[in-house]
Amino acid sequence: MSTESNKDIVLRYFPDKHFTIEDVVAEHDRALLRWTIRGTHVGEFWTPVGTAFPTGNQITLTTMALFRVADGKSSKSKPSLIGSRCSCSLVLR
């Protein structure tokens, strides 16, 4: 079992990764967060449709998720992923 964290894995595949929070909307006990990740694909990684081999291409991934909030903090439950949009060219095998 690997002790490498998700953050370490992402930085290995996309070492120049930049994370931008685009929008935050909160009401009552919920908050909606939309963020964008940009980076250069330099490492091989597994996907459900095949292995993505390094391309050197830029990727842009925008995602939204809904979080429950209690006492001013995000709850420990996983957020509900609402949608993702990816602009990239990956080579899958």
Residue 13 lies in a domain: yes
pTM above 0.85, yes or no: no
Is residue 82, in this structure, part of any structural domain at all?
yes
- Indicate the average pLDDT of the chain: 80
Burial 52-62 (b: 16+ CB within 10 A, else e): beeeeeebebb
The tally of domains found in the chain comes to 1
| pLDDT value of residue 74 | 76
Domain-located, residue 26: yes
pLDDT in tens, the chain (93 residues): 456 676 777 788 889 999 999 999 999 988 888 989 899 989 887 777 788 888 898 888 888 888 888 887 777 666 666 666 676 666 655
Ordered strands of the 50-53 beta sheet:
45-47, 50-53, 91-92
Domain that holds residue 13: 6-92
Residue 29 lies in a domain: yes
